[in-house]
Amino acid sequence: MTLSNSIMWVSAKPPFSSSFLQNPKPLLPQISRPSLHSQSSLTPTIHCGLRELRVRIDSIKSTQKITEAMKLVAAARVRRAQEAVINGRPFAETLAEVLYDINERLQGEAIDVPLTNVRPVKKVALVVITSDRGLCGGFNNLLIKKTQTRIAELKKLGLDVTVISVGKKGNSYFLRRPEISVDRFIEGGLFATTKEAQAIADDVFSLFISEEVDKVELVYSKFMSLVKSEPVIQTLLPLSPRGEVVDVNGNCVDAMEDEFFRLTTKGGKLSVERDSVKKKREGLSPLMEFEQDPVQIIDAMMPLYLNSQILRALQESTASELAARMNAMSNATDNADDLKKTLSNSYNRKRQAKITGEILEIVAGAEALKDFE
């Protein structure tokens, strides 16, 4: 009798399992489970298994380490770049002021200085300075957008435009757009050097002297602070008062937000309004006499002016790029931390639900055995 009962019990196991899986509620004890409605409303639902969640969490941890390291490297480099910008600004600004004053003094004299000659504009050269690397937020996109806007403005006036592209990101962009004429592609270095600036200045000098272009403009990112930079346009050549550079129809071709005129001219006189700490400089005395011929002075100073202005633009662009990369990597690190917390919460909930389900199955099996006994 005992043997037959045991055989009947073994043979009755499959119907028990199927009936339990179909309707487990009669065999389960009343266990209250907390509602997850409030948590699900705060945390997005992630549909994947525990193994996939572990892989994603590990991947995000690795990415967070990379972004944190890139942020620290950019923070270390941006300090050096910021010092180069601050130390280089006084020399570049003072040189531009002196050269501008000398040029104004010589306006009434019959002299011929090729780099100051104002002629009707038919073609404009844009020196566009971008970065060699990405992962710096919208730094390059803002510069390219500024360049596109300026090209559209010049073409609307009926002028031809050629581009001197500096930086791999700008090079790759203009290579994909054959409708934009590019005179030269230049790859920049990690930090701006006088050799690099001189190579760009030589190209600009040859284009302007040969009258292939009648106006040269710089498009770069001006360094404001560690959290702010602004794409600007600056007239490089010719060195002349605002409004004198016109096209063949007499229309002014200066950019409305031109950095050179906005920051250095006021009422026909040169003054610096960029830094409130810097004192406004007095113009040259009208009684001053030059021992050398003024033409020789300007001819000697113009190459230095070109080099200093281009070097300054490169330094400002480098500092802006590093600051943008530092901020972008900081935001990426914070986002990775938030995403890691979200995935960890989802992983813990899924793991807890799995453990709770296993406990319920064990309890249900024990209750079922009691009923059969």
Task: Please report, for residues 99, 158, 203, 267, 307, the alpha-carbon distance to residue 92 in angstroms, rounded to integers and kept in the order given.
Answer: 11, 33, 20, 21, 9
Better pLDDT: 233 or 35: 233
Lowest mean pLDDT among 81-95, 156-170, 204-218, 245-259: 245-259
Positive or negative: CA dihedral 253, 259, 261, 262: positive
Give the closest residue to 187 by CA, choosing from 232, 133, 125, 139.
Answer: 133
Contact 201, 310 (CB under 8 A): yes
Strands (E), the chain: 123-129, 160-166, 181-186, 215-225, 228-237, 265-266, 269-270
The residue to which tokens 């073409």 are assigned: 155
20: CB partners within 8 A, 6+ apart:
27, 364, 368
At residue 121, does pLDDT exceed 70?
Answer: yes
**Predicted pLDDT at 295:** 73
Percent of the chain topping pLDDT 70: 71
193 token code pair: 């050097």
**pLDDT value at 264 more than 50:** no
- Measured from the Cβ of residue 358, the count of other Cβ atoms closer than 10 Å reads 10
CA-nearest of 315, 337, 334, 327 to 137 is: 327
pLDDT score, position 361: 87
pLDDT at 51: 84
Clarify whether 136 is annotated catalytic.
yes
The pLDDT assigned to 101 comes to 73
Give per-residue pLDDT as tens, 218-257.
999 988 888 888 898 988 888 766 545 555 555 665 555 5
Q: Is the pLDDT of residue 45 over 50?
A: yes
Q: Is the pLDDT of residue 269 over 80?
A: no
**Residue whose token pair is 């129809």:** 249
Q: Does the domain made of 60-254+292-331 have the CATH classification 3.40.1380.10? A: yes
- Residue 347: pLDDT band (50, 70, 90) is confident
DSSP 108: T
Tokens of 100: 């501008």
**Does the predicted model carry a pTM greater than 0.85?**
no
Element (H, E) at 232: strand 228-237
In the predicted structure, residue 64 carries a pLDDT above the cut 80: yes
List the domain boundaries for the chain: 60-254+292-331
Burial class (CB in 10 A: 0-12, 13-18, 19+), 177: exposed
Higher pLDDT, 23 or 294: 294
Per annotation, catalytic residue among 136, 200, 306, 332: 136
Q: Are 229 and 139 in contact (CB under 8 A)?
A: yes
Span 197-211, mean pLDDT? 90
Give the amino acid at 318.
T
